[in-house]
Each structure stands twice: as C-alpha cells, then as structure tokens.
Structure 1
Amino acid sequence: MLDSYRLKSFCNLPLVCHKKISTVGNSNADVPLADPGMYQLDITLRRGQSLAARDRGGTSDPYVKFKIGRKEVFRSKIIHKNLNPVWEEKACVLIDHLREPLYIKVFDYDFGLQDDFMGSAFLDLTQLELNRSTDVTLTLKDPHYPDHDLGIILLSVILTPKEGEHRDVFQTQSLRLSDQHRKSHLWRGIVSITLIEGRDLKAMDSNGLSDPYVKFRLGHQKYKSKIMPKTLNPQWREQFDFHLYEERGGIMDITAWDKDAGKRDDFIGSSSPVFHPGCSHEPHFLKNLYVFLYHQGVRDPSAYGSLGVLISPVTAPPG
C-alpha cells in the first residue's frame, strides 16, 4: 500500500458516527455559505464494489483520482485485476471553501494505452457534519451512459474548520506538507517489470531441487512471484508494474527463495542493485538483464544461479 498522507499534528481526534451521504450530480458552486473559511478534509478511500469491467478478461485495474475544482488533490494506487478493490488509503487536504464539490473519477489502468474511464461521482461538501467521521457511498456514473451500472466507491471523510490564529499556522504547515505529499504520493510514471526465468538456481532441498519464487521491492512497493515446484530452471513469464514517485528513487531489491511447507523458507540469494528509477537523467529505459544471485558475500555466478528480468520503458501517468 502506498504511504498514507496524514497531518497528525493538526488533525483533531474525531467523534465517529455512521451517517451516510449519497452523491450529487452537479457542482454546488452556487450554494450560499455563511462562513467560507478554511477547512481540512480527511479522506479515507475504503473500497469499490461491482466496478465496471474494462479489460478483455472481464476485469479491470482500477485506481481513483480526487479533484476539487480543476486541481487533483489525491490519486490512489492501482489494484490489479479486481472489480471489488480494497484500498484503505488516506489523504488530508486543505481547502479554502466548500463551494466546489469533491470530484471522484475512477479509471482502469492500461499499460502503454490511454486509461479507460470507469465512472465518476460528486460529493457535496456542504452536506458534511463538521468534526465527525462520515461514511460515504458514491454511485459511479458515466455522463454519456447514465443508465449504466458502474458500481460504487466507499469513503470515510472528516471535515474540520480551521479558524483564528491557528489558521495561519495550519495553512503554512499544510502547504508545506501538501507539497511533500505531491512529491511523495503522486507517481510520475510507471515501470513494467517481467520476471522471465531462472537459470541454474541452487538446490535447497534434499531431492536436489528447489521450489523457487522471487520477491521484488522498490521503496514501499512489493511483488512476490508464484512458486515453481521442483525445478532449478523455472519459467515464470510474470509481468507487473511499479510506480515511480517524484523525489523518491532508490534501488530495486530482488531476492530468490525456496518454498518449504511447514517451516521457514530457504533464502537462495539476492541480486546486486539493478537500476535506480528515480534518476532524472534516465527517464526512459529498456533493459533485458540476467542478474546473478549471491549469498553471504559469495558472488560466483555458478553458485546460486541467475534470473532473467525485463525492465520496460517508463510511461507518464494520465492527466
């Protein structure tokens, strides 16, 4: 899961209730407001239910964008191949007034193609009770096909007014943290990784074989391959994606393991650093690599084997 964005120093402990609010179809920009002050909006994106299938396999790879006015304030991670995704992601947003609704748009991620629209909804912020957690059910609609059933998105939101002398402090801190959030949470591109195969992996079991699988880690993102039973030359052919974040580079770690039922899995080996995706001088790359595994400082290619990995070009996120 992506890093949650929280303003712990400024968020009051909320009273929890379970009032539900339905969606609204239009902007509430003309609603008269008695006190258009500054507000803090805490959003928890819970899950989606019965979302629309946009891929040929009868599924989708959904993610959610949140906007106020024309400004994107939050974007969720992608949940692959799931029409009932669970996100449980948090964001904390500073807003100047309640005249604009919270606009939610759901997309199906398509690598290398334009992402497919899966529906949208509005949340009228003037309907929220202040200082209380509110469960919200949003019915997704397509303006071009209003009769289509596109599923629902479930949120929890807390709206807190920020007044008086604390307002200026909150604004200064929030703007700084909002910039940190933008740089650390909004991804600037995607790298596609394919685990192709293993060659001459070390035998870890008494039968002279292994049951290998591979773990990948880039920052907080992780991927675990399927287990290939009883082989030293597994053929995975598995593809997955990692996000690339602004000002968040780092090394991708690759480790190979032998699955052992009923006891701790055996460590086969790890690779040397493969690439540094945060480097600004290398925005696009295509590498077909064989990474050699090593263990306890031993880097002999014949000792622990190697992995075939394909790293495909980075793409920019949709606007």
Structure 2
Amino acid sequence: MNPSHPQDDYKIKDTKPQLGERWPHGGVRGGGGWISSDRVTSTYDLVEQMYYLYVRVVKARDLPTNPVTGSCDPYVEVKLGNYKGKTQHFEKKMNPEWNQVFAFAKDKIQSTDLEVFVRDREMVGRDDYLGKVVFDMNEVPTRVPPDSPLAPQWYRLEDRRGESKLKGEVMLAVWMGTQADEAFPEAWHSDAATVHGEGVFSVRSKVYVSPKLWYLRVNVIEAQDVESEDKSQLPQVLVKAQVGNQILKTKLCPTRTANPFWNEDLVFVAAEPFEEQLVLTVENKVTPSKDELVGRISLPLHIFERRLDHRPVHSRWFNLQKFGFGVLEGDRRKEHKFSTRIHLRACLEGGYHVLDESTMYISDQRPTARQLWKQPIGILEVGILSAQGLMPMKNKDGRGSTDAYCVAKYGQKWVRTRTIVQSLNPKWNEQYTWEVYDPCTVITLGVFDNSHLGGNDKPGPGKDSRIGKVRIRLSTLETDRIYTQSYPLLVLQPSGLKKTGELQLAFRFTCLSLAHMIYLYSRPLLPKMHYLHPFTISQLDNLRYQAMNIVASRLGRAEPPLRKEVVEYMLDVDSHMWSMRRSKANFFRIVSLFSGLISMSKWLGEVCQWKNPITTILVHILFCILICYPELILPTAFLYMFLIGIWNFRSRPRHPPHMDTKLSWAEAVHPDELDEEFDTFPTSKPQDIVRMRYDRLRSVAGRIQTVVGDMATQGERFQSLLSWRDPRATSIFIVFCLFAAVALYITPFKIVTLLAGLFFLRHPRFRSKMPSAPSSFFRRLPARADSML
C-alpha cells in the first residue's frame, strides 16, 4: 500500500482479463441452466476459458474374481502424472456402475499418457491389479457445448505391459473440455486431490434456491366455553401461537369471562414445503407467575387458504383439545376432548414480498406468489474470475493457507463456486446467470474460507471465515457493457479495518425491454399488499429476523450445506445493531448534504460583496427579469436543472459504487468504539447494572441510527437526480425537466398555480393508498448506503 495514498488500495481497479470467445450458438449457460437466444444474444464469454481433461468412468463388466475369496471388490483409479483419482469400491460385484467424472486441469498436466486402472480392493496388503486402459493425450478429442456429450465406449483391460488383453471390460469416455461443460460441477478435480472423505462434497460448485416464503396471518377472534380448574372463578386467558421457533401471544383478555374476545393479528413466516404446524394454546392467567393450560390444537399449514390480494378470508371454528393426567393406560397420556373452541381467520399471504434481507440491499422485490410475477426486464451475467492476495486464514502443516470459495446471491438463487484448496490466488472462472425483474436491486458476492475439508489444526469443524464482500447495484450499470474490475475485499475486525485481498469479476447487465424498464421507475417499489395492509416497524423487524433464520436453516440442509455464518453474512444480519461507527457515518452523511447549501450561501455572499462584478451584474439582471416576469421562474429552474444534468454527463461515474472506507468511518474508528461494536448483545460486561443500561442505550441508539440513515438516504437520492449515478433515472428526469420547462413556459402561471392547488387539496375519495409515480420514482433512486461497510 502506498503510504501517501492509503485509501487508493481500497478502490475499484479496471482489469483486462483474457475472456472467452463467443460461441456459435445463441444461448447462455449459467448456474441455473440455459437461457434461450430470444432473450439475450450474449454467450458464455465473461470468464477465462480453462481447459480440463475429463474422464467419465461409467461401469465395468465381466471382471475376474479373486481366486482366494471367489469374489471381487472393484474400484477404478485414474492416473495422470502425479495426480490420482479413485472411485468408490463395490463389495462382491462383478458388474459395478460408478458413473463418476474426473477433471484434470490442462495447465497442470505433465504426462502424455492417461492411465485408467481397475483394481480389486483387499482388506490387508496391496490391492490386486485387474487391468488397465491407456490413452494417448494427443488423441483425446475436444468437446465444446452445445455439442452432445461424448458417448462412452467399452475398452478391454490390458496387462501391465499393455500387450495382451485380459478378462473384463470398462466403459469410459475421455475428452478435453472447458469449465462450461455440464460435467464440471460434479467432477472430481485434480486441484482438490488432497481432500478426502465427506470434504469432497464441500469443494464442488453448487446452485441453491432459497425457499419460497409466505406470511401466515392468524387473526385470533374469540373463544367459547373456556373453563379453568377452579370452577368458582372465571378464567382470564390469552392465546399463544407457535410456528416452528416463532412464538407470538395475544394480549390478556381484560375481563374474566368464559367467552373471551381478542380480534388480534399474529403474523408468522412460513416456508414451502410447509413442514411446521400452527400450534395454538389457550392459557389461563391464574397468578402473575403461573399459567394454566386450558386447551391446545395443532393445525397443518396447508389447510389454510392462500390469499394473493386483499380479498377477505372466511373465519372458522376449531375445537380445542386438553391433555391431562387422567386415567393412565400404560405409560401413555389419555386424551380428553371437550367443548371449548376457538374462532380464527387464518391465511397464507403471497401478495407480499417476504423481506428476508435488509431493505437497503434488497435483491428481489417480487411477491411470493408466482401468479403475480411479471416478465423479466433483463439478464444479469456474472463471471467470477479469481481472487488475488488473499490473507492466510488458517495453518496447515505449519504454514498459512486459505481454501477459498465465492458465494453470489441475487433473488432466490444462490451460487457457490468450487473451493480452490491451499491457494492465496485462487482462479474459479465460473459464470452464472440471473433473470432481472427490477433494475433497482443489488447483487451480493462474498468470499469465504472453507473450514470443513479436514486436516485443520483446529479440533473439529469450525466456521467458514469471512474474507470479504462486494455489493453491486444493477441500476448503476450501463446496459450491454462488460465490466471487468477488481474489487478490494474489506473486513472490519476488532483490531481495525483490513484488506484481505481482491476479487476479480466480469459482469454484464443486458436489457430485454427498455420501455418496460423505464415504466418500472414509476411503479411502487414493493408489491401492492405492502401498502394496502402495511406492517408495523416492530413486526417487520421480527419477520425479517425470522425469515433470515428460515433461509439459513433450509440452505444449511443442502448438500453441501450453505452454512449459517455464510447466509447471515450475505444477508447482513447484524446491520440493524447499534454501532458508534455507523452512527457517526450516518451523521456525517447528513452533514455532507448541507455542503451544497453552505456553498450557495458563500456564493451569494460573494455576489453581495461584488467580488466578481460581472457575476453580480448578471445576477441583478436575472433577478429583475424574474421579478417583471414571474411566470419564467419555474421554467428557468427546470431548464437550469436540465442544463446541469447535461453538463454532469461528462463527469458521470464510470464504475458502480463500492465500499467507501472513509464514508463508513472504518479507517479512523476508535479502538473503544470497535470493542463496543464487536461486543455481544446482550453485553458481556461484568456489572449487572452496566449491562442493563448499556443494552438499553444500544437499543435506543440503534433506532436513532436507522432514522438518521433514512434521512441521509432521502437527501442522497435528491443528489442522484442529476449525477448520472443511475443513467436511466437521470435521463428520465432531465427529459421531464425539458418538457416541464416548455409546458410551464406556454401555460399561464396562474393556471399552473390553480391546478396545483386544486390537486393538492383534492378530496380523499380521489386519493389512492398506493404511492404516486413521482414518489415511486424517487424511492428507486440510488443512495450511498450501498457503499457503506
């Protein structure tokens, strides 16, 4: 790092990688499959082509048996130079089927012969040799998709000298291909030859789909015939509802009655397929410290209606069940049914977008129900090329090493590259594709160290360490332009800010319908239900937290799992926690917004002081003209903004924004503030009183931090109107300014004022709960929140 410019190492750098060539077909292969050529004409050309020797071991037949045991436990060993790969072995099987693919990187091949051995596994001693097949590397064919996969063939086994044929045959396919081959994700790779056992599954590239989330709204209306054990006293009850780990309660019925009434809404997050049940329990408040179970019922979620809009849902009565220790039958409880029942109105709501991520970095704004989805407006292609200069994250054999992989998340689709073992400069060169339904969204990429490969110095499996993260807002990208850039990976640690390496990316945002994209800028940011039936702030915080837990739990059950620490880091699970550093950063974001007003006041002071006589005279002339012709005030203002926007076009940003360490106050943060930011919540300080006050302060300050950040975001959106940060939004605005200037010029000022006043004072009947087009346009403008750590 240059000591004179320490922040230069934290900036985006342009790169010139040798990207792949365009293929003759018109499709794009990504992590989610093939996209037809009628949507996009680009190809798999955002990565450097890496060639691999692929060996598919399909099966064998008629293998000889061991003369001693009379059976055969066969497996195949593929050897190329110093690299060896083995299939699993089958016990007592003469016609085994493996269907396994081995991939050897071409740039590491040091042999001209490929040897495929078939062996018989022995429990003790050396494995028996059954035969081999040898291939000359110069005769291996090359396959480029979309060519059909190479057909495997039967090969007779040869002896050690390769002179005579032995009993048995093996079916193989050998070809040279690139990382675009469909066999690439599932193949055994030579650069991970040191990984064995279950760790092999965690080094492969995978595509994950986050579960479809629904809101479960339960309106608890009333109950009938509630009885307590003490017959002399009427019960005072509440209802507790539980879905998985989510527990919500109604308020305590204010009166003691056998027919309590609540009419309260309880909202949960549920994921398809619906594995959990809705468990309702009615509890009687006997004493302040004692609750009595009155009744209970478990309801599967699939019985509830799926609501896509704001149409009403019919209510239903359900009989409650009570479990007690009555007559025992063996060791089982006897179930008692009685007449107590509960009145509910419950439904699964798919008209909302379930906020499973922070709203500042949202990557999907569609409702849950697929029936409400519109056509995509673009295609996002991302080539994850490589990383440079990664920090050693652990020790292996007495030296530092890193087993790095990259995760990208956009919408419901998560992708994970293969793990490059023991390399501080890994090369992935994997390309993935997403459909884009809204340009005002963010894709997040994170780099992690794989701690589940075995052979670590740490006892047992640890957590995958964070190496760094990159966010890219799609609206800041020019369409149909290939960006090839190196992003610094920055991590804030208790010891301070550290650069842990650089991530090299190539990406392109292709527009399918410019008219549709421009139309979206006038549409509400979120689905209609968010505005017709909004949630409270406390509900949103709780629902977002529960949604993130569900996503982390479901992705953690995949193979290989996308672990909880990875999902939480990608979804910014701690972004709402109190931090003195973030609070100062948001405060100074607001202060910087007033810098324009301060500059204007200084300029007016200079005009009044006649420091520049020519400027002062021109201001006097303009002032007199506007006083004599007040109808020119608004056209002049809009025309002035139009000219400013045209002038700023020359200096428009050419790169999407990235983490700004100065803006985030990450470079000048005080050590005590870092200790507070990385402190546990609740705090781990020893004094009980200090802990209580400290937690309360952090909770209140976290709210203030969010409000200050929102204020800063609104002001920064005003600045982005003419800054060309979002080129489409600025184009729309300056064209509007031009037409507004012309329209206001030819329209009498009194008419404009009258119409504006009547529109502002219009009757509530003519007002809509949906946000207006200008409001939706403004909320879609980018802010500097994307550039904060």
Q: TM class by shorter-chain length? A: 0.3 to 0.5
| TM-score of the pair, normalised by structure 2 | 0.17
Which is bigger in relative contact order (C-alpha 8 A, separation at least 6)? 1
| TM-score of the pair, normalised by structure 1 | 0.39
Higher share in strand: 1
Larger Cα-atom Rg: 2
